[in-house]
Amino acid sequence: MKRFIDLKESNCQNCYKCIRACPVKSISFSDKQAHIIESECILCGECFIVCPQNAKQVENQVPRIKLAMAKGEDVYVSLAPSYVANYKNISFATMEDAFRKLGFAGAGETALGATIVTEKYDDLVDKSNGKVIISSCCHSVNLLIQKHFPECLDHLAPVLSPMQAHCQMLKAEHPGAKTVFVGPCIAKKEEAGRYDGIVDWAITYEELSEWLAHENIVLHNKTDDRLKGKARLYPTTGGILATMKKTRPDFHYLAIDGVENCMHALEDIKRGQVDHCFIEMSACVGSCINGPVMDREAIHTIADITIVKNFASDQPFAVSPVQRIDLSKGMGPLKIHRDHPTDEVLQSILHQMGKRTKADELNCGSCGYNSCVEKATAVYQGKADLTMCLPFLKEKAESFSDNIIRNSPNAVFVLNEKLEFQQANTAALKLFNQDHIEDIINRPVSQLIDPRPYVDVMDGSNVYDKLRYFSEFDRYGEETIIYDKNFHIVMSIIRDCTKEQREYEAKQQIARQTAEITDHVIQKQMKIVQEIASLLGETTAETRVALMNLKESLSDD
C-alpha cells in the first residue's frame, strides 16, 4: 500500500503525541518508533501537524510533475480557493503567472468545480426522501466513513469532489492534458491516486512554496479583472452551505468541522437519531483554511476567513456546457479487520499494565488512548505495548527506586537547600537514633550532625566516599554528598563502616602494643647481650693473664 505520510525513524522520540492527536488511533508503536497503519489512516494530517520532532514526512509528487513537463506533456493546475489565505490576498492572475513560469501549461480555480458540485448537492436534497446527506468534498471525511463508519456510506453524497470535478473540466477543455491539484490537504494525494484518470497528481502549498523558492520566483501581486465566484467560500466552515440554494424548508443544513465532531455526528446518524438533514463535514477545524499542509506560519484563522469572503462574491461562477461533466462517484467500504480480546485476555493485559482494580484505571490518556481498556485492546492488536502507560511506568520506577532506597543498608537522606531533612530511609533513621521519619522531616540537619560538609558541597563540588566520624553518635561512615542544582536538593549516602573502623583501630592498637613489647624485648636482649659481653670480656682478660703467667713460668724452668 502506498504511503502518503511516512516516518523519519531517526527523529521519532516515542513521545506518543501523534497517537494522542490521531482521532482514529491509526498509529502503532514498535521498536520505540511510531508507524502509521495505512489501512486505518484517514490522512487528516494531525500526526504531521503535532509531531514536535518533525518526524513525519509527506510524499512529494513534484519530481514526477517536473518529469512530465520535461517530456513535453501539457500539465494544468487546479488551484484550491484556500490559496488566498496561504499567500495572503495574492490574486489568481499572480498565481497563474507563477505557474506558467514553473512550466505549467495553464491554471484554473478549483472553485469552478465546486460550483457544479454545489448544484449537484442541491439536486440531491431536492430529490431526497428525507434521509441524511453528507457532503463528499473532504476526502478525509470520506475515508473516515468508508473505513470506520461503513454503516453511514448510504448517506455520503456520491459526488465528485471539487478537485476531481475541476480536473475533469480541465481535461474536457484540454484533451490529453495532465492535471495537478494544489491545496492544503494530504488526503487529496490519496484521492488523486484512488480514482484513475481524473487527477494525475496533488501537491501541497508547502511543496509549491519550496518549488517557487527553488526557482527564485517571487509573487508580485497583479490586478485581476476576472469575475469572482461564490464557490470561493468553500474552504471555510459553512462555505459549502453558503453556496447552496437550500430550497427544502423541511431540511436542516448543518456544518460540522473537526474529525472528532464528525465522528460524534456519524454515531448519531448510525443510531438513526438524525433525518432530513444535509451535513457539510470537514475533517479540519476551520475547514480547508486550516489544512494540515498550509504554511503553518501563515495561518491566522479569523483574518483568513475575512480574506476568503473578500475573495468571493454573491454570484456563482459561469460554467460553460463543455465544463458540465458527469459528477457521479462510487465510494464503497474499505473494510478494516480487527481482532478483539476476550474479557479474560483483556483483564490479563490490564493486570500486566498494573490495572488490577477499576480504581487503577486512571484513563488519563497519556498513552494516546481514551481509556485503559482501549489501550489494552490496542496492546492485544499489536498497536501498542505495555510500556506506553506512563502512570504505570512512573509508579513502577518509583516503587523500584523506593524499594532500593528503603531496603538499602546504606543511610540515604535528602535535604533541601536550607539543609532541612526532606526524606530519609530506615538505615538513616538508625544512624541518627531516630524511630520515625516524622521525627526529622523539616528539621535542620545541624540539629543532628555537623552541617559543614553539606554547606561546602553547595559552595563547591560533590564529595564521594569520604570517611567521616559522627561524634554525635560515635559512628563512622563513608559519605557521598551530591548537590542537585536543578531540583534544589542535597542528597547524602552514608555507608556505616563503624565496625570495620573499630576493627581497624583495634588492629592498630594491637600493632602498637606489639611494637612496644617487641621494642622492650629488644632493649632487654641488648642489655643481656651487653652484660654477657662484659662478663665474657672480664673472663677473657683473666684467662689471658693466667695463661701469660703460666707461659712465663714454663719459660723460667
* Percentage of the chain lying above the pLDDT 90 cut: 55
The candidate with the shortest Cα–Cα distance to 505, out of 467, 452, 536, 541, is 467
DSSP 59: P
146's grid cell? 468508508
Which homologous superfamily does the CATH classification assign to the domain defined by 408-496? PAS domain (3.30.450.20)
Angle at which helix 372-380 crosses helix 343-352, to 10 degrees, equals: 100
Check pLDDT > 70 for residue 550. no
Task: Summarize the chain as % helix, strand, coil (round to 5).
Answer: 45, 15, 35
Which residue would you say has higher pLDDT here, 431 or 212? 212
How far apart are alpha carbons 82 and 316 in whole angstroms? Answer: 17
Check pLDDT > 70 for residue 37. yes
Question: How confident is the prediction for the chain on average, in pLDDT?
Answer: 88
Residue 165 Cα to chain centre, angstroms: 38
Domain span(s) for CATH 1.10.15 in the chain:
338-399
pLDDT number for residue 394? 61
Question: Which three-class secondary structure string do you get for 6-28?
Answer: EECCCCCCCCCHHHHHCCCCCEE
Check pLDDT > 70 for residue 406. yes
Task: Look at 8-22, 223-237, 461-475, 506-520 and tell me which has the smallest mean pLDDT.
Answer: 8-22
Cβ-contact 276, 250 below 8 angstroms: yes
pLDDT number for residue 290? 93
Strand-pairing partners, residue 203, are 182
Q: Does domain 1-59 have CATH number 3.30.70.20?
A: yes
The candidate with the shortest Cα–Cα distance to 77, out of 59, 62, 87, 88, is 62
302's grid cell? 479569523
Phi and psi angles of residue 367, each rounded to the nearest 5 degrees, phi first? -80, -15
549's grid cell? 703467667
DSSP 294: S
Strand-pairing partners, residue 414, are 423, 491
Check pLDDT > 80 for residue 9. no
Q: What's the one-letter identity of residue 211?
A: W
pLDDT number for residue 238? 96
pLDDT in tens, 198-213: 999 999 999 999 999 9
How far apart are alpha carbons 192 and 164 in whole angstroms? Answer: 8
CATH fold, domain 338-399, is 3-methyladenine DNA Glycosylase II; Chain A, domain 3 (1.10.15)
How far apart are alpha carbons 364 and 49 in whole angstroms? Answer: 22
Tell if the pTM clears 0.85, that is, is over it: no
Average pLDDT on 12-19 reads 80
Q: Residue 179 is inside which H or E element, if any?
A: strand 178-183
Q: What's the one-letter identity of residue 83?
A: Y
65's grid cell? 510533475
pLDDT in tens, 297-313: 767 888 999 999 999 99
Check pLDDT > 80 for residue 280. yes
Which residue would you say has higher pLDDT here, 14 or 438? 438
Strand-pairing partners, residue 412, are 493
Domain span(s) for CATH 3.30.70.20 in the chain:
1-59
346's grid cell? 483483556
419's grid cell? 539543609
pLDDT in tens, 81-137: 999 999 988 999 999 999 999 999 999 999 999 999 999 999 999 999 999 999 999
Average pLDDT on 426-434 reads 90
Domain span(s) for CATH 3.30.450.20 in the chain:
408-496
Residue 267 Cα to chain centre, angstroms: 29
Check pLDDT > 60 for residue 548. yes
